[in-house]
Structure 1
Amino acid sequence: MHRDIQRQNWTAICQIDDIVPDTGVCALVNGEQVAVFRVVSGEQRVFAIGNFDPNSGAAVLARGLVGSVGERIVVASPIYKHHFDLATGECLEAPEHSVPRYQARIESGTVWVGA
C-alpha cells in the first residue's frame, strides 16, 4: 500500500472488480481521457495510459486488446493495431506516437490513477 502518497495527487477510478480482467476502461482524470487496464497474469496489476491514439486520431485505446509482445504487456489499438506498452506508453511501431503514462495502483479494492 502507498499510504505515504498524498490523496490530492490521486483520483479514484472504480472498484477493481468493475474492470473485466485483461481489459480496459476509460476514465476522466483532470480533464484528460485515461485508459485504465486490469491485467491478470500471475499477480493482478493496473496500468494507465492516455486513451487518445495518435495514429488514428481517435480516443479508443481503452477498447483495445491486451496482450504481450515479448516481455512487454501491451494494448493493441482497435483501429490500426499499433501496440502501446502499458508500462511506458511507448508505441512499438511508431515511437514518435507514444502516449502519456500515468501511475496506477490498487488500494483496498479501489483503482487509483495518479494525476
Structure 2
Amino acid sequence: MTTPTAATPHWTAVCAVQDILPNTGVCALVGQHHIAIFRTGTGQWFALNNIDPRSQASVLARGLIGNLGDRLVVASPLYKQHFDLHTGECLEAPQQSVCTYPVRTEGGQVLVQAS
C-alpha cells in the first residue's frame, strides 16, 4: 500500500452524489483547500477553489450555474464575476481566476483530488 505524500495527491470522498442537487454546488474542506463542487443539470461535475478572489470569502459554491455564450460558468454571489467551470478563469478579470480540481463520482460518492 502506498501512502499519499505532497507529491502524490489522493482522492477524498466529500459527500454522497445525492447530496448535491443538479445545478447546485456545495463546499468541502479538503486538506487546507476550500473547494466548491458543482453538479450540472446534465450530470457533469466540477470543482473550483471556493474562495472568491475579490472578497476573500468562501462563497463560490453558493453561486448560480449558467452559460455565457458557449462557456459554462458559476457567478459569484457577491460581486457577480463569472468563473469558467472547466478552467477556473474569471471572465471579467482573468487575474482573479481560481484553481480547478479533478472531481469524479464512484460508488455513490463524490471524490475530489487536491494536494
TM-score, normalised via structure 1 length: 0.88
Match of 1:32 in 2: 33
Q: Tell me how far apart the structure 1 counterparts of residues 72 and 31 of structure 2 sit (CA, whole Å).
A: 26
* Structure-1 residue corresponding to 2:21: 20
In the TM superposition, residue 50 of structure 1 has moved relative to its aligned partner by 0.2
Q: Which runs of 5+ in 2 are unaligned?
A: none
Which one has the bigger strand percentage?
A: 1
- Report the alpha carbon displacement of residue 57 of structure 1 after superposing the two structures with TM: 2.2
SS in 1 for 2:92: coil
User: Unaligned stretches of 5+ in structure 1?
Assistant: 1-5
Deviations 1:58-107 (A, max 9, x none): 11100000111112111000011000011111100000000010000111
For 1:18 and 1:71, the matched residues in 2 are separated by 28
TM-score normalised by the chain length of structure 2: 0.88
Letter in 2 for 1:113: V
Identity of aligned residues (%): 57
Q: How far apart, in 2, do the equivalents of 1:103 and 1:28 lie?
A: 15
Residue-pair matches, total: 107
Report what 1:63 is aligned to.
62
Q: CA RMSD in A?
A: 1.3
Runs of 4+ with >6 A deviation:
none
**Corresponding residue number in structure 2 for 1:87:** 86
Q: Counterpart amino acid of 1:59?
A: S
How far has the Cα of 1:108 moved from its partner?
2.0
